[in-house]
A and B are shown apart, each in its own frame.
Chain A
Amino acid sequence: MPLLELKNVHTYYGNIHALKGISLSVEEGEIVTLIGSNGAGKSTTLRTISGLLRPRYGEILFKGERIDHLPPHKIVELGVIQVPEGRRIFPRLTVRENLEIGAFLRKDKAEIARDMERVFHLFPRLYERLNQRGGTLSGGEQQMLAIGRALMGRPRVLLLDEPSMGLAPVLVEQIFGIISDINAQGTTILLVEQNALMALAIAHRGYVLQTGEIVLADTAQALRENKLVQHAYLGVG
């Protein structure tokens, strides 16, 4: 049984049909990537999984149980945690408060402190900026904070929406390395990316999304070698 599964999911914005029957699955321990160009529906897919949008048809299952009727905070409670597009740091909370709010549903103080330590280990820069307001961080620092904040919730599945957006190449490498590490430590990941090259380098499997429909699904290696993917998303040929 997959950890997270979408079955024929249709999502609308008013009468704009944004997702036209998405089906995908993420197994425990995997990194699965969802690639596609602007407006393909990648963020819409993640927002639908998190309960920010309601699918009009279809089912979303977590560990075999339907979650598509649950409000967002209940979905987070199950361990499905999203790093939203554009980071969405709370600008007037300090770095520390942003991290603490990531652990909002948890009560285990000692464990929270340990996880915060782990986040500082991944992103030492955040430790240096502890009492600075989130809104005053640089874009790269905000991305670190957004990932750190999500980790504070102890995700079972981490949904990442374009973590490389707007970052310098060195930082992109670093962030992808960290995503791999997080996965290696046992967190399942669904990674949305426009940077297909990097995404397919660390993912186990991938889906290609085009105008609200999945047009390809395969292992990351097979997708890297696929002519269409190379042409459309990897800038080859």
Chain B
Amino acid sequence: MAVEATTGAELILTRRSFRSFMSEVFGPLLQVFLFVVGSAVALGGVVILLAVVLRGTREDIDLLQGTITILPQVIVDGLVRGFLYATIALGYTMVYGVLEFINFAHGEIFMVGAFVGAFFGAALASSGMLTTINPILFVIAAVLLGMAVSGLLAMSVERIAYRPLRNAPRLVPLISAIGVSLVLQDVMRMIAVNTGLGFNAQFRTPDLGQPLVLAHMPIADERTIPVSVDSRSLIFIVVAILMLIGLNYLVNITKLGTAIRAVAQDRPTASLMGIDVNRVIAITFLIGGALGGAAGILFGMRVGTINPYVGFLPGLKAFTAAVLGGIGNITGAMVGGIVLGFLEAFVASYLSLFTRGQFSGASYADIVAFSILILILIFRPSGLLGEVVAQKV
């Protein structure tokens, strides 16, 4: 009888692993995927509709054809921006989840990650290995290195600059975070300038291959144009998806992940379960920092040149993405990043097309994207998926 009972319980435990693995790891990703498709379809529909409406006003070009021609590229751009913001936003949202604190230095953690990659590339170049190293190996090594350095850095920052202020009024750690962010910028500038990497550091990589042609899109008179993804964007998207799967597994399935969620929900009670709350908080910074570092590497690899201030804007936008998704909510951060990335990509490309180039460039993209963002938040103040935070007791 007792033996039967035991196997019964063990059965429950094993069955759980498989079912919850599927629903808890891939459930959030499915949600992200739906938002990717939804954003692409919705925004694509809006621009095509606009093109149809405005078509008659333009003699210089066929607006509809122009709109459709660049659409695939815009979607890829949206994906890359989306995953960039999503991976950085996770760092903000996880830390907020456990501490209800906005780690404003997180953008600089990201920037340091990018510099780790630049140093790595430079080191390989000076030893002559950059041209011979397998590009996939290079990407893996650079990402892991960036994750390690940024993760440990984030953890040290928490230990030194935040933990001693844990019981101080809420504004105090915030000021400390801003201080850390300035220090990291200037220290990185000092290091970069004095090591010969330079203020505008080149992110050197081996040849990462040709753009991947996905399809040939027919345009007028039997001509076609290729729809392609450049290899750096592809690497970006693939690595980001792998990291999101890993994170969902870690947070939703493992014992450590359960502990992180327990600490986020009720810190004193978590300690009554035998959880070392300080350690869990440190690990949360480690994970968030590692994700930020990886995002930095991927970002640097894609843009090619970085400087010590590249963390500011992506950091700010990723923070916005985290709020948009519902701060404290991990799936929300991913979804918020995707939506913001798509908004930006669409506005950046199509605003210029529709206004004959009068409003071109990223600055206008920010205005429009952020106005839409404010609208979304007016109607959903707790963010797109914010119910989870609101439910918190």
Task: Please report A residues at the B interface, Cβ cutoff 8 Å.
Answer: 50-52, 71-73, 76-77, 81-82, 84, 88, 90-93, 96-97, 100-102, 104-105, 109-110, 113-114, 116-117, 120-121, 130, 135, 149, 153
Contact = CB atoms under 8 A, between A and B. Distances in A.
B259 interface: yes
A101 B259 contact: yes
Nearest to A79: B274
Contacts of A52: 268, 271-272
Interface string B250-275: 00000100110110011011111111
Nearest to A91: B393
Contacts of A88: 266, 268-269, 272
A120 B6 CA distance: 12
B9 A101 contact: no
Interface of B (DSSP majority class): helix
A134 B115 CA distance: 44
Contacts of A104: 255, 259, 273-275
B94 to A, nearest CB: 15
Contact of A90 (B10, B255, B262, B271): B262
B378 interface: no
A204 to B, nearest CB: 25
Nearest to B257: A97
A223 to B, nearest CB: 28
Given A101-B273, A104-B273, A153-B273, A113 B261 contact: no
Interface in B269-316: 269-277
Given A93-B262, A100-B258, A113-B9, A71 B16 contact: no
B13 interface: yes
Interface of A (DSSP majority class): helix
Q: Which 10 A-B pairs have the closest CB atoms?
A: A76-B274, A72-B271, A113-B9, A105-B274, A117-B9, A88-B269, A73-B276, A113-B10, A90-B265, A117-B5
27 contacts: A50-B272, A71-B271, A71-B276, A72-B272, A77-B274, A82-B272, A84-B272, A88-B266, A88-B269, A90-B266, A90-B270, A92-B265, A92-B388, A92-B391, A93-B262, A100-B255, A101-B258, A101-B273, A101-B275, A104-B274, A104-B275, A105-B274, A114-B6, A117-B9, A130-B12, A135-B391, A149-B273
Interface size class of B (residues with CB under 8 A): 20 to 34
B262 A101 contact: yes
B58 interface: no
Interface of B: 5-6, 8-10, 12-13, 16, 255, 258-259, 261-262, 265-266, 268-277, 388, 391-393
A97 B13 CA distance: 11
B255 to A, nearest CB: 7
Contact of A93 (B10, B261, B391): B261
Contacts of B8: 117
A1 B12 CA distance: 42
A91 to B, nearest CB: 5
B9 A90 contact: no
B6 A113 contact: yes
Contacts of A117: 5-6, 8-9
A92 B266 CA distance: 10
Contacts of B255: 100, 104
Given A117-B5, A149-B273, 19 more contacts: A51-B271, A71-B276, A72-B268, A72-B271, A76-B271, A77-B274, A84-B269, A88-B266, A88-B268, A101-B275, A104-B275, A109-B10, A109-B13, A110-B6, A110-B10, A114-B5, A114-B9, A117-B9, A121-B5
